[in-house]
Structure 1
């Protein structure tokens, strides 16, 4: 069974906070490639930043997500990803029209169920690493919510509830899936 679980969806929808809760509960997580890239590029005065060169940023996110996915194959328990390869490939395909999504998603599959954080304006904030506005975040969410099913994934939209309850919700869904197999 593939135990690499994607948590994707709207930027600013609570993914990182949710992943922190899963860490507290003893689960392995992979930090979002985009945030790692932005931190590194800002430290190194690089240009692969979403507000400078989005194409270079998306290509770096794809490379990082492929490496993250390969490393996760050695894990035995659930591994939760804050975004992943599909997110980076979807961004690149949207920007360039390059038909990369299907090819990459076939070679690097995640768990069948993908959890999406919906747009949640009450918790959305910008910061030095997230400079885009809420409307851009919603546009990205809409693209991802449409793309994942076309790639053969089942999506579950996370309810807008407290972070501990969201973690319980995900773990309950995965537990039910495991029992049904």
Structure 2
């Protein structure tokens, strides 16, 4: 198996409601290449179409759509040496399925092993002060913590180094990520 490693692809992951999307938006606003989270868009599309591939209706189908979009996002990024920041990665779908007690298809494990990001993954730890849920993010804080722990297990098992982001402003978190990411690319 020939792994495809893209050292300039950085993942920001963690539990829902812990600041990932705000960080990715700030990076995008600064002119960096970013890839948004797939889950929210899938939920919007499924709700609009009356579909059932939703975390509260059919988790396996929801996970399948997340996986397919995550893989497509990885494969379709243009050739660049600039850093690319992803709001979640391919392995997040595995963590989601494991958290739900659902089987993980072999092709997902294979893809997460084959299509590699930078070995350093940024984690947004549980932080009650910023947590909020909405019509698309229905998890409780406790479920968000369990998701965070699931991501730690999956990314550790896949051999990534995990770096927890500080409880700080979005700007400070972005500066932390940029400092670390750019030093890794030198």
TM-score (norm 2): 0.91
With 73-82 and 45-54 compared, the bigger mean Cα shift is at 73-82
Structure 1 alignment gaps of length 5 or more = none
CA distance in 2, matches of 1:33, 1:114: 18
Question: 5 Å matches for 1:78-117?
Answer: 78-94=83-99, 95-98=101-104, 100=106, 102-117=109-124
Of 22, 39, 48 in structure 1, the residue corresponding to residue 27 of structure 2 is 22
* CA contact 2:98–2:150 (8 Å) conserved in 1: no
CA distance in 2, matches of 1:37, 1:76: 29
Q: How many angstroms does 1:149 deviate by?
A: 1.4
CA distance in 1, matches of 2:153, 2:104: 18
* CA contact 2:13–2:88 (8 Å) conserved in 1: yes
Question: Which string of whole-angstrom CA distances, capped at 9 and with x for unpartnered residues, describes residues 140-171 of structure 1?
Answer: 11111122111011110000100001000001
* CA contact 1:113–1:153 (8 Å) conserved in 2: yes
CA distance in 1, matches of 2:72, 2:178: 25
CA RMSD of aligned residues (A): 1.5
CA distance in 2, matches of 1:5, 1:137: 21
SS of alignment partner, residue 103 of structure 1: helix
Q: How many angstroms does 1:71 deviate by?
A: 1.0
Q: How many angstroms does 1:24 deviate by?
A: 1.2
SS of alignment partner, residue 72 of structure 1: coil
* CA contact 1:93–1:99 (8 Å) conserved in 2: no
SS of alignment partner, residue 41 of structure 2: helix
SS of alignment partner, residue 146 of structure 2: helix
* CA contact 1:33–1:84 (8 Å) conserved in 2: no
Q: What's 1:142 paired with? A: 149
How many residue pairs align between the two structures?
179
